[in-house]
Amino acid sequence: MRLLIWLILIYVGFKIVQGFLRQRVEGEQSLPPRGEETHRDPVCGVYVTEADAVVGRVEDKRLYFCSMACLEKYREQLENKS
């Protein structure tokens, strides 16, 4: 009988620790990257950090692209519109 009580206690303790660890991992993942502002590439929709982005000035607006290819694609689209 005693052994069964110990097994239940160990099982419950294990579950509590598991839940605690899972909460911690989720908490860390939901934190935004520190000190890094992200911008959305208007061409492919990818989020890029300011450090990694290709900055394009289009009509006095600063736009952030993931690559030069996307910047050029965006400029082509603008030219086609006008």
Q: Hunting for tokens 């492919």 — which residue is that? A: 44
- Residue 68 CB, nearest distance to Zn ion (Å)? 10
Residue (41 or 63) nearer to Zn ion, CB? 41
Angle formed at CA 14 by CA 10 and CA 17, multiple of 5 degrees: 140
12/69 with CB nearer Zn ion: 69
The binding site for Zn ion (CB under 5 A) comprises 41, 43-44, 66, 70
C-alpha 58/C-alpha 62 separation (Å) is: 7
Instruction: Tell the smallest beta-carbon distance from residue 35 to Zn ion (Å).
Output: 23
